[in-house]
Chains A and B, each alone.
Chain A
Amino acid sequence: MTAVLDTGDPAVPAERLALVDLLDRLLAGGVVLTGDLVISIAGTDLVRVDLRAVITTVYEQLADPEEPRP
């Protein structure tokens, strides 16, 4: 049994969380208030960024850490 528990203690940083677990949640979860990924600046709202493309790119980088990051 392994437990990766967030104690809430600032002395125990959340660095223990695996990035892959975090991204699974952050890129796919959360309230979508006005769109897929929203950049609502400059008066008119809503620029969509293709999150799926982001995810694919990121995961390829994660899987091949020896590849230079851009």
Chain B
Amino acid sequence: MTSEARTAVYLYGVARGLAPSALDGVTGVAGEPVRALAHRGTALTALVSTVSLTDFGEEALRENLEDLAWLEGTARAHHDVVAHAARNAPTAPVRIATLYRDDQRVRDVLGRDHTHLTDLLDRVTGRTEWGVKAYAIPEAVQQDEPEPESEVEVPALTAGTAYLQRRQAARRVRRALQDRLADHARTLHDELADHAVASRQHAAQDSRLSGRHETLILNMAYLVDDEQADGFHEVARAADRRLPGVTVEITGPWPPYSFIATAEATPTPPPNPRPTPETGPTPEPGSHPEPASNPAPIPTPTPEGGRR
């Protein structure tokens, strides 16, 4: 690996106490086998593959990352390796496409960032990330009839005034519906957060990306103590049954991706899992989906460390 400059070392993540045999037969990005690099004197193991600079060199990588098919293949391979390790030992995923010159450079990082990595691993040990999304069919959620319009009693209305009144009424109905959806989302979030040690909001997903036509009212990740997982799932199931017009979807177990990036973030004010029904089923023609660039982290309502 170090003998020539035609390869680089791709780092997937760092595990603690991973059995050396756990990665036997696992393949990673570009179909390359995955190796475990131990760090002398600690229980940390780097999960790596040797990759060709033809695909992972600077220029090539820039182009490849913009090729959706390549990115998808790489993302799924990256995820498969991290998920495999996470099933066997506490694992901190590393940002996709982190590359080093050789194994020694990776070992250097394990040594240099040992304290940071250990802190991260402490935070996720015995815990699992679960994703929860809630979708609403607005018509089914709407229960109250909108107030009847009284415009019939005012025959002298001009067409313009009548139009404005209709618009105002429609706005009130929409507003009430959004409030109701937000209430559902907040209630669900509060219940889920009771079973979680941390939560993080993911960006609203454009319906063209998710393939869903309902309105996304909640898109959260929760870090859940493993012994709380059953209760957490039951909350999601119960909400799905209880809330008319609302479908709750749970994904996971995920490696703790969502709780690594913000691990050092300063907690910010209370959660506002307010959905964004505006991003609902019919985006403006020509509009672009919201890039998931900067989802505001939501601090956990349950104080970190408040649960063992």
Interface residues of chain A, those whose CB is within 8 Å of chain B, are 1-6, 8, 14-15, 17-34, 36-43, 47, 49, 51-52, 54-64, 69-70
B100 contacts A41, C-beta separation under 8 Å: yes
Cβ-based interface call for B93 (8 A): yes
B121-158 Cβ-contact flags toward A at 8 Å (1 or 0) = 00000000001000000000000000000000000000
Q: Decide: A6 and B83 in contact? CB cutoff 8 A.
A: yes
In the bound complex, residues from chain B placing their C-beta under 8 Å from that of A47 are 58
- Complex Cα–Cα for A43 and B240 (A): 54
> Is B265 interfacial (CB-CB < 8 Å)?
no
- Whether B13 pairs with A41 at a CB distance below 8 angstroms is no
Cα(A70)–Cα(B299), bound, Å? 39
Instruction: Say whether, besides A14-B79, A49-B65, A59 and B99 are in contact (CB < 8 Å).
Output: no
CB <8 Å contact, B249 and A4 = yes
Contact A5 B251 (CB under 8 A): yes
Chain A contact residues, majority secondary structure: mixed
Give B247's nearest chain A residue, CB to CB: A2
Residues from chain B with a CB closer than 8 A to the CB of A58 are: 66, 68, 71
Number of A-B contacts (CB under 8 A): 190
- B117 contact set on A, CB distance < 8 A: 31
With A25-B257, A31-B120, A49-B61 known, 10 other A-B pairs at CB within 8 A are A5-B251, A22-B75, A25-B221, A31-B93, A37-B98, A40-B98, A51-B293, A59-B209, A59-B291, A63-B208
Contact status B101-A5, CB under 8 Å: no
What string of 1s and 0s marks CB contacts (under 8 Å) between B70-110 and chain A? 01100110111001000100001111111111000100010
**B74 and chain A: residue at smallest CB distance:** A26
Chain A residues contacting B205 (CB-CB under 8 Å) are 20, 24
In whole Å, how far is B250's beta carbon from the nearest beta carbon of chain A? 5
Distance, CA A52 to CA B65, complexed state (A): 11
Across the interface, do A63 and B83 meet the contact criterion of CB distance under 8 Å? no
Could you name 6 residue pairs across A and B whose Cβ atoms are closer than 8 Å? A19-B75, A25-B221, A25-B257, A41-B100, A56-B288, A62-B209
B98: chain A residues at CB < 8 Å are: 33-34, 37-38, 40
Query: B30-53, CB under 8 A of A: which get 1 and which 0?
Result: 000000000000000000000001
Given contacts A1-B240, A70-B67, contact A22 B76 (CB under 8 A): yes
* A54-B65, A70-B66 known; A34-B109 Cβ under 8 A: yes
**Contact present for A4 and B250 (CB under 8 Å):** yes
Check if B251 sits within 8 Å of A4, measured CB to CB.
Answer: yes
In this assembly, does B295 line the interface, its C-beta being within 8 Å of a C-beta of chain A? yes
> B252 an interface residue at 8 Å Cβ cutoff?
yes
B30 to chain A, nearest CB (A): 15
Are B261 and A69 in touch, CB under 8 angstroms?
no
Give the residue of A31, A56, A63 whose beta carbon is less than 8 angstroms from that of B94. Answer: A31
Assembled-state Cα–Cα distance A14/B11 (Å): 20
